[in-house]
Every structure is written in structure tokens, then in C-alpha cells.
Structure 1
């Protein structure tokens, strides 16, 4: 009998599947649906210190093999999500939640982390260093010096489990550089990848861009980004110290995609675009498909094949 259970920093999750921050997780109603689903846990919408409306509409469109958006971090503010996870801790004391934060400045992130540090929250924090869709704000994850400065400031006072959400990297030297930075800190996990930033979708009929924000530039997600996501999961899992788990996200539509992410080294999987299209039923379906693949291959746990991708001689 196979199991999809996984463990990160000693915390056990009944299944390795969860949502990705940004999709169907903004309201308490969204989060309640995730709690009631077959997902192993949930991550909240990436919070800013105060409620934020996000970018003007239209800010999202579909692609033949994925999604395209420039949402701009619409969210209900940190207090809303912190209240939710604290209440959930009381209702489900053995559960571990992921609370996502994405301040638009280092000062914002530090202020939010001070608030979380002072609270009774015991779960994981996912610090988003990779939102490509906020006009005027570069992705911290591409500035290795700024990433180190951020983590220096964070771990000067924050001692609860924390991970970072990273942008996609495209050069082997960049994998080496970001891993060298991250390995200096007591991180619990890294989430890789966020959407591939600053693509452009053109409507040939109207001869216009497809979305309003940033002159039409936006982030690419879904099946189109899976090869990039797998490369980042693989490269980081090979370079990061063993105590930093890799949470894989990008292009997971079915059980085979999930299997490939784990084979590349992921301990947990986040589903974004397909969850947006399919709703919470996606977790049960993909779990069943992944379980079938494992049974055919004779694997009883995901640890039996995690990170064991073979290369060709």
C-alpha cells in the first residue's frame, strides 16, 4: 500500500500536494475549501501589510498550455491571514499551515515577520522573493546581494520555520550563486518556481496586448513552464543542504507531472494554474494518478524515488 505522505522539518503532511499562493486562496471561504479538500495543507494568498486591490483589469488571460497574468498581489492584508491561520491552529492543532508574505520592500517584510514572530503562529512562513508583477519593484530573488541582505535581517530575530519562494533561474552559474547564498541560513524550504516573469501575449485580431498592467507584460504559468520548473527543482535540490526541502511548483497538471517533480527532488508540490481551472477536485485526481504510477513502479513512498533522476551516460 503506497502513501503520498511527506515530511518537512519534522512536520508530517498526509499528502505531498497543496495549492500555490495566488490561486483560489484569497478569502476565508477559499481557504476553508482547501482545508476540506484532499490537499495535504494550504498556503495563504501572499500578504502585504495592508489590504491591496492589485493591478487593474484585465490582468489575466488563458494560454493554450497555461496561464498569463499580472495580478499585482491583490490580498486582504497580513492581519486577515494571520487571524485565519491562528484560528485554524486552534481547530486543528496537529496541522501545519503555510502563511505567505510578499512585502513590496524589505521594511514591509521585516514588519510583517516581527508581527508573526510575536504571535502564537507555529506554522511555516513562505517569504515571497519572486513576484514579477508589481510595477516598479524588481524581484529580490534575482539580486543575490539583496537576497543575502534580506535574510541577514530576517534571521537576526526570526526563529520560526521559514522558507523562500524563488523566481526561475536560467543559468547554471545562477543556481550555484543562489544556493551559496541560501545555504548560509537556517531555511526550512524553498519553493521553486514562481511564474516566468515578463512574457507578452498579443491579440492579433485587435492588434493589442492581452492584459492591461505593465503595458501587457505578465507572468507565464502552467504547462508551458514545466521544463523550467523541473530544471530549477533538480538544480536546487542538488545544491542546497539536505535540511532545506524543495517545494516544486510549475506545470503540474496530472500525476505524471507530479511524479517528475518528485523524481527531480521535490518533497512537496504546489499546484497553481490547474488548481485555478479545476478547483479543489484537482488534488484528489492527481493523488490518484500519482498513486497509480507509484504502484506500477513498485514504490511505496515518495522517498523511494525522490531526487533519484538518472542521467544518460
Structure 2
């Protein structure tokens, strides 16, 4: 049985549902080019700010037995760098480009989106409401009124389709509250669930030190540690926003986890920690494992099982 991993969504076509999570292998043009040349179905840039940022001091990333902890602090080359990349990107190769936007203030975010709107390129922005690793900068996604105010301003300045990257939520009431905010904006086409679980602390017992330096050792938790939380967020937002797309992100290390995200309702799936550790070859491996799993279950297409998670 021939397996079809293709996805059509938001007017875009992807040969595979897998692509990178913003922040991994996407800060520089050569990294983005490597992603575009890989088996990834799309490419997303590093979250950009108005001006270039070096990010937080090292060490700011540590691999863990079941994932990672990081406090990168939005290191990026500034929005002009990524918009220049978007201008020269080869859209004809059939891999959509997403530009991640994470201004240090609402005004910065609006300035970047206003410039992107004026360029009228075929890329789509993913507005990051959820970076947990910049000292003194709270996650917008945990302030529902602030999120609504920012989205009100975005749709006035950016008339085309866009998406948002959300922090993890842990209570059904908060799923409801954020879904109520998001459904008010018809041009909001997708939500990405989830960013890392913020402000975790990992301790090196031998050295009696935190593993990373920024924020006194607090950082975002990623990898397999966050898979159950990510799946819950994917399913709950897919349920509450049936006319929007959910991008699953968190804990994907094999085809099985990609299958889980799609079973919970994800349209496509981003890969972060695994990509950081393994490199772009992860896309080919995970796609092959996903195909094999689908074949064993008798599913030829992703639509055959998307959103069909049951309960015993």
C-alpha cells in the first residue's frame, strides 16, 4: 500500500507534515538552506526581533536523558535578515516558508508584521506569544487580555493569514479562555502547540550547580518530557477551534510521536529537540517510521486518522 504523507492547508502544499520548530537550525541562512534541502515539508525561521540579539550567556542549552533545557534568549539576526531571506527563498521547490516573529514589545511585533505585509511575499508569519526565556519579558500567551489587544492590533496592520505559537496550558478553563480569544480573528489560520514548558530547573548533583546559566538556571523544558502536555494542548485546541489548524510541537523523536500528534488533531508537526540533537536527517527517518506505522494500521493518508483519538 502506497502511503501518502502530503498535506494541503492554508492554500499550501507539503509533501510531508514534518518541519522544524522555530529556534532549531534556523538562525542563519545556511541552516535554513539545509532545512530546505532536507526531507522537511516546510521551513520556519528563528523568532526575530526588530534588532539583532546575541541572546543569553552560555551555557544556555543542555541535553537531558529525555529531552533538553534551554534559555537561549531569542538570539537572532534581526527581522531584516529574515525578510531578506524570505525575498530570495525558492518557493517553487514546494516547501512553504514561515517567518517566526517575536518582538520585544507589541510595537516591535507590529513593525515587523507591517513590513512583512508591505512586501506581500508568499510566506506566513507565526507570531510567538510564548517565549519563556527572556529575562523580564513575560509570556504574552498567559495574559489573555494582552493577547487579545495584540491580536486586535495585528489584524489591523496585517490583513493576510497568520498563526500564533502558544505556551502550554494546564487547565481546561485556560484552554477555553484562550480559544475564546483566538476564534475572534478569522485571519488567524493556525495555532502552534506548544512552546517549551517554561522555567524548569535541572540540577547537576555532582557539581551542585544548575545546568544552564541564564535566569539563575531556569529554562524551557523540551523533548520527551513535554510530550504528554503537548498532546493535551493539541487535542484541546483542535476540539475548541475546529475551523483552524493546529500545528503540533513537542516531544517528537520518532514516527510514533508524530502519529500521536496527528491522531490528537494536528494538521502538521514541528520537531525541535530531536532535530537539534540529530540534524536534518531526522526528517527522513521520522517520515519513514510514520509511513511504516500507518501501513501497519491500514491508513493510507493522514486524514484517515487525524483527530480520531478515542478514550477507553
Q: TM-score, normalised by structure 2?
A: 0.97
Unmatched segments (≥5 aa) in structure 1: none
Deviation of 1:159 after TM superposition, in Å, equals: 1.3
Which residue in 1 is equivalent to 2:44? 43
CA separation in 1, counterparts of 2:238 and 2:258? 16
Of stretches 301-310 and 120-129 in structure 1, the one that deviates more from structure 2 is 120-129
Q: Deviations over 1:103-147 (max 9, x none)?
A: 111011001011101113122100000000000000000000000
Which residue in 1 is equivalent to 2:268? 268
Deviation of 1:155 after TM superposition, in Å, equals: 0.3
CA separation in 2, counterparts of 1:132 and 1:126? 16
CA RMSD of superposed structures (Å): 1.0
CA separation in 1, counterparts of 2:95 and 2:58? 36
Which residue in 2 is equivalent to 1:2? 3
Which residue in 1 is equivalent to 2:151? 151
CA separation in 1, counterparts of 2:82 and 2:253? 27
CA separation in 1, counterparts of 2:93 and 2:56? 36
Matches within 5 A, 1:1-313: 1-89=2-90, 92=92, 94-186=94-186, 187-242=188-243, 244-312=244-312
CA separation in 2, counterparts of 1:301 and 1:114? 38
Deviation of 1:95 after TM superposition, in Å, equals: 4.0
Q: Is the 2:110–2:157 contact (alpha carbons within 8 Å) kept by the matching residues of 1?
A: no
Q: Is the 2:13–2:94 contact (alpha carbons within 8 Å) kept by the matching residues of 1?
A: no
Q: Is the 1:96–1:123 contact (alpha carbons within 8 Å) kept by the matching residues of 2?
A: yes
Deviation of 1:92 after TM superposition, in Å, equals: 2.3
Q: Deviations over 1:140-187 (max 9, x none)?
A: 000000000000000012112200000000001100110011000021
CA separation in 2, counterparts of 1:181 and 1:112? 22
Q: Deviations over 1:43-79 (max 9, x none)?
A: 0011001110000111111111000010000001111
CA separation in 2, counterparts of 1:86 and 1:95? 14
CA separation in 2, counterparts of 1:144 and 1:179? 10
CA separation in 2, counterparts of 1:149 and 1:41? 30
Unmatched segments (≥5 aa) in structure 2: none
Judging changes above 3 Å, is the alpha-carbon distance between structure 1 residues 94 and 203 closer, same or farther for their aligned structure 2 residues?
closer
Q: TM-score, normalised by structure 1?
A: 0.97
CA separation in 1, counterparts of 2:192 and 2:271? 12
Q: Deviations over 1:247-279 (max 9, x none)?
A: 000000000000000000000100000000000
CA separation in 2, counterparts of 1:7 and 1:128? 23
Deviation of 1:207 after TM superposition, in Å, equals: 1.3
Deviation of 1:96 after TM superposition, in Å, equals: 2.1
